[in-house]
Amino acid sequence: MGISVEKQILPNNIVLVTESDASVRTAAIGFCFSVGSRYESEGCRGITHFVEHMLFKGTQKRSAFSIACEFDRIGGYANAYTERECVCLYCTVPAEHAADALDVLCDMTEDSVFNLEDIERERSVIQSEVMSSLDDAEESALDAAAGVIWPNSPLAASIAGGIDDIASISYEMLYQWYQRFFVHGMLSVFVSGAADTSLLVKRLSDMHTHAPYCSSVFHLPVWHAGLSFLKAPFRQEQIFALFPIPYPLDERRYFAYAVLNALLGDTMSSRLFQRLREQDGCCYSVYSFCNFYFDTGCWCAYASAPRKNSLKISQGFFEEISSLCTVSNNKIDISDDEISAAKEHLCGEEIICSEEAEYRMKRLQRCLSLNFAFRNTDEILSLIRSISKDELIEAIRSILSFDSLSFIIYGPSLSESAKMKIQHLFDTYVKKSSVDN
């Protein structure tokens, strides 16, 4: 297909990864900075996200309006997001405008102005964003769940910070954080599409010297297992079943977890969806996902439902997960057809998403951060389909142990009777898991 991936480290330490594809007419460019909420400490919570917002507020050469216009008038778009371990500033544009778009991103990266009036205006915007998230039951519950499974760890802190955190961040703090982690910190640039690599290299090489790329080292968060009831002012319960993912993580294990996730909770035909929504009719929203960080991760099943259905959902979670936990003589209660369907679901998603330059750009970033090989779509499809039943069994054994389960119910208070019944279920399955193992 004429697609090739190349990684190079420029003299100023910027890592450039390009996936050239002459068959398309678009280009996606992503600047990934090695900083996020996990890098923050008390007194500066939310500062990374605040800086991300300020990148769009103007540079020495461009006003905020000029930045917006440069992308809008070519039919492209620019955006950014902050996560726990990275910030990504990115754009997707017609390939003929890739060099101009790159210049804007470079300018935002090393020459943003941080005008005091803009800071105060954006402070109010971010506080409004935080309040919106506090009004969102699911988003609030996800933050609360992170605080339970990784107590007292920066990994569990809210990415945007709290209202008071945002209020306490000064101009000096913001600008120093920007200089340290954006202007001179570790920077990886990912490009997918029909961009001219030689032009990219030339412009990026003119940027400041950045810190050499390396894997960040943190205090390993301690996993907290157990049953937790958290009171919250929402009408429905948010229910989580979380298990830690053991590290180190290799590429085949990553995709084995993806297959497991697909058949257990990530699809409409998955076990949890069919059991809790279609069979029991006790919830509207139910799904599962994996989170991967530098040194740890978790698998999570989630459902949202009225308080009266909490016991039924808890029982459904325990029974469906337990059905996979009992592995004897390398046999599991999963048919070959079910495994094949989960793989083909993942392959279908990969094919559909790979039509977009932005997705392929973010795929490059994922591979670098997890230290995986850079693969094209066909290679990834072959890898997914090659995951064996034995590898799936090993993936199940490695994470689905009730000894490490953190089961969280977040929402209106349950009756003492309901709590006792859920506690009994939890204790029963933990004990059963210990006996089976």
pLDDT at 271: 96
Q: How confident is the model at residue 215 (pLDDT cuts 50, 70, 90)?
A: confident
Q: How far apart are the first and last CA of the chain?
A: 48
286-308 core/surface letters (b: 16 or more CB in 10 A; e: else): bbbebebbbbbbbbbbbbbbebe
**CA of 157: how far to CAs of 128, 166, 299, 432, in Å?**
18, 14, 18, 34
Q: pLDDT, tens digit, for every residue of 300-347?
A: 999 999 999 999 999 999 999 998 876 544 567 788 999 999 999 999
Q: How far apart are CA 267 and CA 214, in angstroms?
A: 36
Residue 257 has pLDDT above 90, yes or no: yes
- Tell me the pLDDT tens digit for each residue of 163-207: 999 999 999 999 999 999 999 999 999 999 998 999 999 999 999
What number of other Cβ atoms are within 10 A of residue 123's Cβ? 16
Sheet with 406-411, strands from edge to edge, namely 226-231, 406-411, 236-245, 297-306, 285-292
Report CA Rg, the chain. Answer: 23
Q: How far is CA 31 from the centre of its chain?
A: 16
Q: What is the pLDDT of residue 1?
A: 47
Q: Where are the alpha helices (DSSP H) in 169-306?
A: 171-178, 197-205, 251-261, 271-272
DSSP secondary structure string for all residues of 92-122:
EEEGGGHHHHHHHHHHHHH-B---HHHHHHH
Rounded Cα distance between 203 and 94, Å, is: 18
- State how far the Cα of 346 lies from the Cα of 259, in Å rounded to an integer: 7
Polymer length of the chain = 437
In this prediction, residues 283-303 reach a mean pLDDT of 96
**Which pLDDT score, from 0 to 100, does residue 2 have?**
56
pLDDT reported for residue 334: 86
260 contact partners, CB below 8 Å, separation of at least 6 = 299, 324, 342, 392, 395, 396, 399
Q: 214 vs 184, which has greater pLDDT? A: 184
| pLDDT tens readout for residues 366-404 | 999 999 999 999 999 999 999 999 999 999 999 999 999
Three-class SS state of 350:
helix
pLDDT more than 70, % of the chain: 97
Q: Nearest 10 degrees: CA dihedral of 84, 232, 223, 131?
A: 10
Position 324 scores a pLDDT of: 84
More confident residue, 124 or 195: 124
- H or E stretch at 308: none
Q: Each residue of 12-43: pLDDT tens digit?
A: 999 999 999 888 999 999 999 999 999 999 99
Q: What's the distance, CA 327 to chain centroid?
A: 30
How large is the average pLDDT for residues 245-272?
Answer: 96
Task: Report whether pLDDT(109) > 80.
Answer: yes
